[in-house]
Amino acid sequence: MVVTRKAGVSHPRLPLPEGPDDLVAFQQWLAEAIPMVGSLGITHMAREGDSLTWRLALAPSLNDKGTGFGGALTAQTTLLGWCWATLWLRERGLARDVVVAESSQRFHAPVKGDYRLICTPQDPQGPDALAVKLRERGKGRIALDQTLYCGDTLCLSAAGSYAVLPEA
């Protein structure tokens, strides 16, 4: 069944996993919930410890110079952080809304080929602090870093603050 998105109408949530999270199902849901995801070139998504990694094809994000388009790369870093927070919540059985509150990027080198994006908490204690805030206040924030590598070359570093909203 194809779902057509409409402005102002929330997309139905993906049911919480009953065991280890299924990243394939999450990625399929993500492409329905956020239509541009299907055009990002994500070829692989993996979670290991406190990191979330995407592998991406460069072709969908090319600019006029034949390198990565900064706007597309920025959107990808922001979305990767949102996915990190959403998956973290899902692993804990929490279906909550996440929004980006702040973000910044720094470009270090042009992206000239397929690449990988890695998202991790800025502070190793950040996830534990977020869990405490959610328990005590029903909402919280976490600061996440995203790094983009083309081969061994660091091309982009980004940071974002993601807010977990109170239950509706």
Domain extent listing, the chain: 41-164
* 25-34, 55-64, 115-124: range with lowest mean pLDDT: 25-34
Do residues 117 and 147 make contact, with C-beta atoms less than 8 angstroms apart?
A: yes
Do residues 51 and 131 make contact, with C-beta atoms less than 8 angstroms apart?
A: no
What phi, psi does 37 have (nearest 5°)? Answer: -60, -35
Q: What percent of the chain has pLDDT over 70?
A: 96
CA atoms within 13 A on the CB side of 103: 19
What does CATH list as the number for 41-164?
3.10.129.10
Give pLDDT tens digits for 80-100: 999 999 999 999 999 999 999
What phi, psi does 120 have (nearest 5°)? Answer: -140, 160
Give pLDDT tens digits for 140-166: 999 999 999 999 999 999 999 999 999
How many Cβ atoms sit within 10 Å of the Cβ of residue 130? Answer: 22
Q: Is the pLDDT of residue 130 over 60?
A: yes
Burial (0-12, 13-18, 19+ Cβ within 10 Å), 66: exposed
Q: Which two tokens stand for residue 53?
A: 């990694």
Give pLDDT tens digits for 31-65: 999 989 989 999 999 999 999 999 999 999 999 99
